[in-house]
Structure 1
Amino acid sequence: MSQKEIIYLSFGSFSNHISTHFWNQQQSYFTYDQSDLPSGSTSRDVEHTSSQDEEPLIDHDVSFQAGQTLTGQDTYNPRAILFETEQEFGALAKLNALYDSFPADSDGRSVALDSLQSWGSEAQVIATERVRPSRYQRRLELEDQGLDPESSDDDDDGQDDDVQKTASIGDGPSLPKQRRSKRSYRFWSDYSRTFFHSKSLVSVGGQLTAPMPGSYNAAHSPSNSDGRTRFETFSQGVAQFDQLESQHEVLDTNIRWFAEDADLLQGFHYTIDTSDAFGGLGCKYLENLVDEFPKLSHLVFGAGWGNTTYVPEDAGDSASWENRLARIRRINNLQSLTQMMEFSTVAAPLCIPDWQGDGQVGANWRRYLGRIDLSDMHHAAALVSPHLETATLGTRLKSRSETLSSLTARLNWRRDTKLVHLGGALPVAYPAPLSSSSIAGSMDPVDALLKSYGYGDSDSRARQRGAPLESESDLSARGAKHLLSTWIDLSLPTHLSGGEKRRKQLLQHLSRPYSHTAVLRNSNLDQARLGLGMLDSILSQINPPFGQGVYIPQSYNVLSSYPNFFTLLDKHSNPLTEATTQSSRKVARPKHLPVLSSLSATPSSVYLFKEARDTVNEVLNGHLPMIAYGLDGEDARDGLKEIRENIEGWIDAYSVGEEDEEEENGMGTDEEYDVDQKEEDGLDWDL
């Protein structure tokens, strides 16, 4: 009997945004009769061209569990546990419509208040104002009732569609300014299309806990914190784990409840915010679940959010505040990375790229994303989630030969490459075959003469002779080249620089990884042969079983909850491949798109480890006290030295060729680690 179920855990606002897009996509794979559409699922979002009798590609039992509501209604709920600060759940009820204990006309009724009537006096109620449902959720309610929502799927952002140019980067073409969208959604629950079981929602910290900046209810400066404690440091998350387990026993009450419902678990899938206190909370649950389920696979995605670079102190009143948050985020990312490398089976860090950055695999990675706002969690998560969902899609297929165990074993076959990169192309552009008109601007005189006598052009004569203008392998190679030009690596450091030289190095690492699993998805079977050829061309330098390419005839559904940030699509929503000016002009929302996503163990991980090493050296060699980085405890310095030794080992494991050269920041011998603080200098950095 093959392994089947996967339990998904998500920690923090950004991770929950990613998970919301993920679960909306899983919901769209269900095929319903028109009369049997559940709330949050509308037939207009997804066109099901296959017959109802056709076997579905996706095995819903992997990610969903069957059950019944309190009224006996059959339902499917995600096998998921979402951890979030209380105020960031938004209008999502703790007991949603499927599990509401009270009838619909009893809004405001309270069992506690009813019990106080026997005292003969009125109770004074002090409560926060209820969060109103979003416009999108109200539209879904109208659709469920069969009414016209009278609203367009596209966001009315009021942005100018004209192309806006900025200065060119390096020797490359000029870029349009990064778009700033009107924030359409306050919380991830505002566009969630899935009903969660009550055991799936875990509130962290209570009303007096504030999330980090980027979330809707975050305190963006010390002056407007309203007395709330910001959930910001790794150690806070570790302490919150102890509090949750002592008060609510989440491991036994929530997680074990899902595990016992499964027949044969594949493993656990984690998405953890690493830049705030949720990094500490998520890593503690990872540590305990690895101890509880040591034979299962634990696939971890560590999602970083927020600025980690310093601004000049004279940049404004908020400069010191921004620099403090940057220091805390850097050390949180470092501690989370260390814990993920120790306890996970395979871990993939997630970093939102810098729009103006030049350190990406593809020089044209922005080509089809011209209207994206990378400062908005809704948009940024919509960039990450399709790749995360596609790269792991093989573990959820009905006729699957892939499981979390086989996937992680292939990626970490050397046993020292736990860290992998998530990347790919969204959308995938397929090149058109060459024709004589695309090769030459003017007709050959002989062709013109023959055509005047009715013999046709050179294309038709070449086809009659059985000699195509371009072979299949040449067409696939050209398509793969264009694909790599739009490739984005979501695990590279955000501010990696280096220009064209760095890009060539990244491309070489991608073409010669230690291991690579790529998934190409497209419902258009007419393009399957070309797509497989492009996939083979990309994976040509690595052989099975270390490299694997999979084609799945299921495109990514672009739902109404998904932001329409795409550009350079034709009227049929196909990406344009011919040379054209980078544009931010709005296009019609596509219904579905082909996507290529991959997980790979690559030498490019060295850049991430070097960034982590720089963070350690900054803390140990700098003049700021440990508390400025959110570190406490007398053994913090010794712990950082141990982390640095581990980082040096990881750099050695991933380095190849030019990466083996001695660097000025590198440490060679154990004695060199003792130069951080000299006794004779008379300074105590921890004061």
Structure 2
Amino acid sequence: MREIITLQLGQQSNYVATHFWNTQESYFTYGADEESPVDHDVHFRPGLGADGTETFMPRTVIYDLKGGFGTLKRLNDLYDITEDASSSSLWPGQAVVHRQEPIEASAYQQSLDTGQAPPELTTSTVRYWSDFNRVFYHPKSVVQLNEYELNSTLMPFEKWHMGEELFANLDKEHDLLDRDLRPFAEEADNMQGIQIMSGIDDAWGGFAAKYIEQIRDEYGKTPVWVFGVQEPVRGLPREKRLLKLVNKARALAELSSQASLVVPLAMPEELLPSSIHLDASSPWHVSALFAAAIESTTLYSRLRTTDLAYSSNLGRMTDLLNVFGRQNIANIEMSPIKPPSPAQNGTNGLTNPTNARGELVSNPNDNSIDDESDSGLQKGTASLEVDLSSPQDLRLESGRRPRKRYVFSQVQTYRGPNIEKTAADDEDGVTTGHFGMRRRPKVHNYRSELSFPLLDSYPKLFRDDNAHVVKECIAMRTALSTDTSVMAKVRGLRTAVIRSIGVEDREMIGNELAEIAEGYKEGWSSGSDDDDD
């Protein structure tokens, strides 16, 4: 088997992961003559419930703060055997039991428990990520950290060092890898990798960095992918935005030295295309968009290996993206594909749109891609509608002229019916960098007829050309790229935050960020006019 173990670190990542697990659950088939194209053993583990019932639950460990789990219980209906507390106590006297008032289950959860048609979820009815959760978790998967409380105003869990200290204290007491991760790893026959979803703009970044450091000591050769989730910052005061940038800078510096691949995700500050209606103040909405990109990009790591042409694994995709061995931070983009109307003649309604970088969005049905366009698009590479890789960070590199983006390697995914192969799909375009140096971007294409399912737990984000809500499923394109825009973002981040980092860490973090940026100008410039002071 090709098992992947998931770690979910913090409230932001748990929202994303809940959408991810709901989607995986929707791929299960129950008819004797039906077979899912997804290999469920990759992400799910078999087991036995407390009453001997066979179970199939996610291979995941969920960490959150006190109050972050909402109505989710550590022991669910498959494992909950009620026992009188007084009967199991060694105390001979009368026991006094104090119980905190439980959080009332949402109407959606109540409908799942009773088997009734669920009510429509809204941004006001989703209070916690557990309010729209559709799967059962093993008791070992649920880990509540009581040292901090969710949304506390007295001691918010928002500074990098808090995450580092929390991990160190817990690890000293329990050895977190032995207690939480190792049981799932030992069940795996041939572990494909570890997938981590974590906040990187708050204290969870520090927690994740220490966790991955321990993972590297125990599982040195195992691919580790990190999806670094960030909260929208529009409307936040300046000091909060700066704190998030400092946390992110430290996260990129630390995680890039340990993880196989780091994929930052953030909502673009520019307007989204008309096909997406999203409330940026709702973590349910924002995480749904992130989850669609993550689930579609990694789909090919869990397809059944009978489709050898388009099945892959985390290790292979890491090697495809990291061309020069120093490029393990990747950008992620996505485009929902609207069903074309007859009047569009297969254009999908794309009339020279641009993305957050100002690049022309590539049309999946257009075969006429030049070697290099004015927008910087290279032959064979894709530039999609929604750039989730923090394109606003490019503006942090003040005082420098904007540069075209050059792609070193790109993994393109196409999912959905009737997605035609284009002439550019099998061509690696040669592009010219500074001083006439020529590079051939590596473009790798994966396809599946399995559309992205739009469940009743998923917000109604997508619209067709007539502004009607898209229901049931939608075709999707994604692109995961290593390119020179990472250099500009990391440099700008370094300049913006370096004076806000403590003196004891300033030089180390500054040097690490500079080294990361250096790895993304391989072959494109001599460095004579680009070096930092």
Q: TM-score range by the shorter chain?
A: 0.7 to 0.9
Normalized against structure 2, the TM-score is what?
A: 0.84
Contact 2:333 2:384 in 1 (8 A): no
Give the secondary-structure state (helix, strand or coil) at the position aligned to 1:260.
Answer: helix
Give the secondary-structure state (helix, strand or coil) at the position aligned to 1:97.
Answer: coil
Give the superposition deviation at 1:407: 0.8
- In 1, Cα distance between the equivalents of 2:38 and 2:203? 35
Contact 2:278 2:285 in 1 (8 A): yes
Contact 1:232 1:277 in 2 (8 A): yes
Give the superposition deviation at 1:133: 0.9
Structure 1: runs of 5+ lacking an equivalent? 34-51, 103-108, 156-181, 212-217, 220-224, 312-321, 357-364, 436-472, 571-584, 620-625, 627-635, 669-687
- Residues 195-234 of structure 1: matches in 2 within 5 Å? 195-206=136-147, 209-211=148-150, 218-219=151-152, 225=153, 228-234=154-160
Contact 1:275 1:306 in 2 (8 A): no
- In 1, Cα distance between the equivalents of 2:506 and 2:13? 27
Structure 2: runs of 5+ lacking an equivalent? 346-362, 374-380, 432-438
Give the secondary-structure state (helix, strand or coil) at the position aligned to 1:75.
Answer: strand
- In 1, Cα distance between the equivalents of 2:27 and 2:329? 30
Aligned match of 2:360: none
- In 1, Cα distance between the equivalents of 2:443 and 2:2? 23
Report how many aligned residue pairs link the two structures. Answer: 493
**Residue identity in the other structure for 2:40:** H
CA deviation string 1:612-667 (max 9, x = no partner): 21233332xxxxxx6xxxxxxxxx4142112212222222322375895736xx53
Contact 2:159 2:247 in 1 (8 A): yes
- Residues 254-273 of structure 1: matches in 2 within 5 Å? 254-273=180-199
Normalized against structure 1, the TM-score is what?
A: 0.66
In structure 2, do the counterparts of structure 1 residues 486 and 408 end up closer, same or farther at CA, with 3 Å as the change threshold? closer
Give the secondary-structure state (helix, strand or coil) at the position aligned to 1:245.
Answer: helix
CA deviation string 1:99-119 (max 9, x = no partner): 1122xxxxxx64157638841
The CA RMSD over aligned residues, in Å, is 3.3
Give the secondary-structure state (helix, strand or coil) at the position aligned to 1:247.
Answer: helix
Aligned match of 2:376: none
Give the superposition deviation at 1:95: 0.7
1:342 aligns with 2:257: yes
Aligned match of 1:382: 288
- In 1, Cα distance between the equivalents of 2:81 and 2:121? 36
Contact 2:499 2:506 in 1 (8 A): no
Moved over 6 A (4+): 478-481, 542-545
Aligned match of 1:520: 414
In structure 2, do the counterparts of structure 1 residues 402 and 612 end up closer, same or farther at CA, with 3 Å as the change threshold? same
**Residue identity in the other structure for 1:262:** A
Aligned match of 1:643: 509
Contact 1:476 1:537 in 2 (8 A): no
Give the secondary-structure state (helix, strand or coil) at the position aligned to 1:617.
Answer: helix
Larger radius of gyration: 1
Aligned match of 1:97: 77
CA deviation string 1:45-85 (max 9, x = no partner): xxxxxxx4244211100000111101111110100011100
Contact 1:518 1:599 in 2 (8 A): yes
Between 645-654 and 337-346, the greater mean CA deviation after superposition: 645-654
Give the superposition deviation at 1:534: 7.4
1:187 aligns with 2:128: yes
CA deviation string 1:207-263 (max 9, x = no partner): xx233xxxxxx14xxxxx3xx522121111111112222333321122000000000
- In 2, Cα distance between the equivalents of 1:474 and 1:424? 12
1:491 aligns with 2:357: no
**Residue identity in the other structure for 2:275:** Y
In structure 2, do the counterparts of structure 1 residues 246 and 647 end up closer, same or farther at CA, with 3 Å as the change threshold? closer
Aligned match of 1:611: 492
Contact 1:493 1:607 in 2 (8 A): no
Query: Which structure shows the higher helix fraction?
Result: 1
Give the superposition deviation at 1:605: 0.9
Give the superposition deviation at 1:332: 1.2
- Residues 102-501 of structure 1: matches in 2 within 5 Å? 102=82, 110-112=84-86, 115=89, 118-119=92-93, 121=94, 123=96, 125-143=97-115, 147-149=116-118, 151=119, 153=120, 155=122, 182-206=123-147, 209-211=148-150, 218-219=151-152, 225=153, 228-307=154-233, 322-356=237-271, 365-369=272-276, 371-399=277-305, 400=308, 401-427=311-337, 475-477=365-367, 487-494=385-392, 496-497=394-395
Aligned match of 1:9: 7
In structure 2, do the counterparts of structure 1 residues 544 and 493 end up closer, same or farther at CA, with 3 Å as the change threshold? closer
Query: Which structure shows the higher strand fraction?
Result: 2
- In 1, Cα distance between the equivalents of 2:459 and 2:280? 12
In structure 2, do the counterparts of structure 1 residues 298 and 148 end up closer, same or farther at CA, with 3 Å as the change threshold? closer
Give the secondary-structure state (helix, strand or coil) at the position aligned to 2:134.
Answer: coil
Contact 2:160 2:202 in 1 (8 A): yes
Give the superposition deviation at 1:299: 1.0
Contact 1:354 1:495 in 2 (8 A): no
Give the superposition deviation at 1:484: 6.5
**Residue identity in the other structure for 2:367:** A
- Residues 63-74 of structure 1: matches in 2 within 5 Å? 63-74=43-54
In structure 2, do the counterparts of structure 1 residues 301 and 538 end up closer, same or farther at CA, with 3 Å as the change threshold? farther
